[in-house]
Structure 1
């Protein structure tokens, strides 16, 4: 059974098997969590992402999918990149957001990862409302059939932490 924990802090400082990156489809870095992971992890992550783009993901990674790279200088073995959906008041598909968590856990299982740290995918510049995103994330992780022993939601600020805490406890 998977244990779900929450912490407030910097996801790039987590000591886990895999850190999930809320990536953009290009896989080539960006702002927010994506930029922080690339900056702290160093050039090895970007080099792996470029190799993925040159081979299987020439058009980028599709929304709701996940793929792994090295973690570079992070205190993890892998970074699992997933592309969350952009929130739109009409037409946002919660199944795509849930798929980010399921697909990331499937990749974690393929890698043999037992501890995985997730950010709140799509809640930054992609604009998904925190309460709804948290509910979707927690439900997706609870429903997942995975060998991952601990899923750690790493929330950057107190507001996000409180929203997740209400769902977890």
Structure 2
């Protein structure tokens, strides 16, 4: 499957489904979860918590509320805060389950962050490589526009290099107001 690496604010993206880098409790704290919660409203966190806890590597789906998306797919690539760190297996499973759920929901577009990296403690270059492998290997039913998003310049360059997208033009780099 083809995918783009972009830079921007995940909470500002227009898409069918946004992916939250969740812990197994689905409690929305900081990082990607915090950005999505702040833009969507507290109802997003309330619904997510009602659907949790879930197993490591699994996903849950909520409404997107005030986000410019239909769904938020909460991918548990990390345990509940303080209960350990993300692993290669949890990142791989969370990515696979996210893609499958997006297809089940008949999503055509999806934006996902570096699951398990950041507050979950997994090294970004290795995590991005794992996610890139899963994206490239996936055979979508409905997904057509998949964007792997980074927030900072450094994350963007690392993800591009780790996924073999370093040759992409700078047109993939966007501000939070784009798309």
TM-score by length of structure 1 reads 0.87
Which whole-Å deviations, capped at 9, do the CAs of 1:37-68 have from their partners, x for residues lacking one?
A: 11111133123224324xxxxxx111111111
Shift of 1:92: 6.7
Contact 1:24 1:30 in 2 (8 A): no
Q: Secondary structure at the match of 1:125?
A: helix
Contact 1:21 1:81 in 2 (8 A): yes
Contact 2:6 2:148 in 1 (8 A): yes
Name which of 116, 125, 132 aligns with 1:131: 125
The CA distance in 2 between the partners of 1:32 and 1:92, in whole Å, is 15
**Map of 1:56 onto structure 2:** none
Which whole-Å deviations, capped at 9, do the CAs of 1:76-102 have from their partners, x for residues lacking one?
A: 00000011136xxxx974122111111
Structure 1 runs of 4+ off > 4 angstroms?
none
TM-score by length of structure 2 reads 0.82
Contact 2:24 2:78 in 1 (8 A): no
RMSD: 1.7
Structure 1 unaligned regions, length at least 5: 54-59
Equivalent pairs, count: 158
Q: Secondary structure at the match of 1:23?
A: strand
The CA distance in 2 between the partners of 1:95 and 1:151, in whole Å, is 21
Query: 1:77-116 counterparts in 2 under 5 A?
Result: 77-85=70-78, 93-116=87-110
